[in-house]
Amino acid sequence: MPEWWITSGPLENWKIAFEVGKIWGVTRITRRESLSTGDYVLFYVTKPISGVIGYGLVRTKFKQDNPLWPQEINEGRVIWRYRFEFDVEYCLPPGNGKRIKSPQNTLLMQQGEDFSGLKMRRLWILSRS
């Protein structure tokens, strides 16, 4: 049975992740090694507005030593070297997000979008720090 994970980062990092081949990374190999092919990942934007913007399936895992995200490029070093590729199952279209609060969760949503059909057995946090 696939596990559910939440991956978080600023919107600018998510834009890069989607543009360069649907790649995300974490600092510790132990966190990435817990992921399995076929697990689900929720895409959580931390700023400028925070909330879930979509979800996908883990495809492959790998280590990379090339800076990719703005903080890595600015500091001249790789911070999130333990990376994985994912396939996007659903993602909100770019645009002005609207925060909607519900008793179960907070989502970054476009008016009319709905994640209520998304069922999760267990949710793990895959932290970048």
pLDDT in tens, 87-109: 999 998 776 555 444 434 434 33
CA dist 9 and 7 (Å) reads 7
Which of 11, 2, 9, 10 has the alpha carbon at shortest distance from 34?
Answer: 2
Map out the domains of the chain with their CATH numbers: 4-126 (3.10.590.10)
The fraction of the chain above a pLDDT of 70, given in percent, is 70
User: 10 pLDDT exceeds 70?
Assistant: yes
pLDDT, the chain, mean: 77
Res 66: pLDDT: 94
Residue 65 CA: distances (Å) to CA of 60, 62, 69: 16, 10, 12
Mean pLDDT, residues 20-39 taken together: 84
The whole-number average pLDDT for the span 33-45 is 90
pLDDT attached to residue 48: 82
Give the tokens for residue 44.
């959580």
pLDDT of residue 101: 43
pLDDT confidence band for 13 (50 / 70 / 90): very high
120 close to 2: Cβ distance less than 8 angstroms: no
